Amino acid sequence: MVYEVLLVAYLVVALLLIGFVLIQQGKGADMGASFGSGGSNTVFGSTGSGNFMTRTTGILAGLFFFISLTLGAMTANRESAEDEWNNLEVPAAVETPVEVPADQDVPVIEGAAGSDVPAVESSDVPKAQDENIPD
């Protein structure tokens, strides 16, 4: 029960974290920075007190890591299903195949028993319709 609740909370926190990261405006992304007036900032942007968005993102990231570690610890202690390959000493139940008779719509020719090429009977070959071709 706790595992399922943590999975749902994990999904909700992950989606909220993605949403808050995508909504935030990057440092130095104001209008003046695109024209070169952002030179007064340090390399990674000016640091100051975080606003609501940055604090919420930090809290969501902490929850995401905590729930990830908790779910990992819970999953590591679970017993997995028995694998068939673990116990190879006991033979599996073998089913005997049932022989199905071949279809009888294929004609059997007695003279072509050793050949893979089907024999052509004279009745199967169509007669020539042209007068110039002999029978």
Q: What span, in angstroms and rounded, lies between the C-alpha atoms of 78 and 123?
A: 73
Q: Six-digit token pair at 51?
A: 């606003």
Taking only the tens place, the pLDDT of each residue in 60-104 is 999 999 999 999 999 887 776 677 777 677 666 677 777 766 666
What's the mean per-residue pLDDT of the chain?
75
Residue 92, helix vs strand vs coil: coil
- Which residues, at least 6 apart from 16, have a Cβ–Cβ distance to it below 8 Å? 60
pTM of the predicted protein model:
0.47
User: Is 76 within 8 Å of 3 (Cβ atoms)?
Assistant: no
